[in-house]
Amino acid sequence: MGFLPMSLVRALVMLQIFLFLTIGSFDSNTAIEVEGLEFSEGLKALPPRSLVAVQGVIYCKSCKYVGVDTLLGASPLSGAVARLQCKSSKREINMEGKTDKNGYFYIQAANVTTYGVHKCKVFLASSPLETCKNATDLHGGVSGARLRPEKVLMGPKPVMLFSVGPLAYAPTNTTSCRRSP
């Protein structure tokens, strides 16, 4: 039999490992052989599921840069709401988090683990300021911001922390924005 490219060999090895993990268990001394290559590096089961938390910051954009994808001159928006939306094949989960005085929000997701986090996005839900209510799509605030893994928070149960944004609202009425001379 001819030689296979290394990428194909790796794919076959990963498929064989996956099949072993899903069909039956094996001990750490099991060796896997693919066309003369042997791998016996103490295979472990998939990592345990972790709960998910999401953090981010929401700003109100400056009048000077309305319509421009920048946060120059923006100020943190206290009391804004971000919505975490996870669409799985079984059900949809929606959770919200409110920003503090620094525009920071934190959402501890209930019933969402690292296995299903790829189906989650964060959206801008509401702004407390009448003068700054136009949601922008900066970093996915309107279309849905994808979650970026940050770090594992240790505790009684480990939590995987993800980040989004920064997200932003724009002033609602640009004519009310005063320009300084």
Is the pTM higher than 0.85? The answer reads no
pLDDT at 51: 79
User: What one-character-per-residue DSSP string does 8-32 give?
Assistant: HHHHHHHHHHHHHHHH----TT--E
Task: Please give the average per-residue pLDDT across 1-23, as a whole number.
Answer: 59
| Dihedral pair phi/psi, residue 135, rounded to 5° | -70, 135
Could you give the domains of the chain?
Answer: 6-39 (no CATH), 51-176 (2.60.40)
Q: Is the pLDDT of residue 26 over 60?
A: no
Average pLDDT over residues 73-91: 86
Q: Tell me the sheet residues that pair with 2.
A: none
Q: What is residue 68's DSSP assignment?
A: S
> How does pLDDT run across 85-97, given as a tens digit for each residue?
888 767 788 889 9
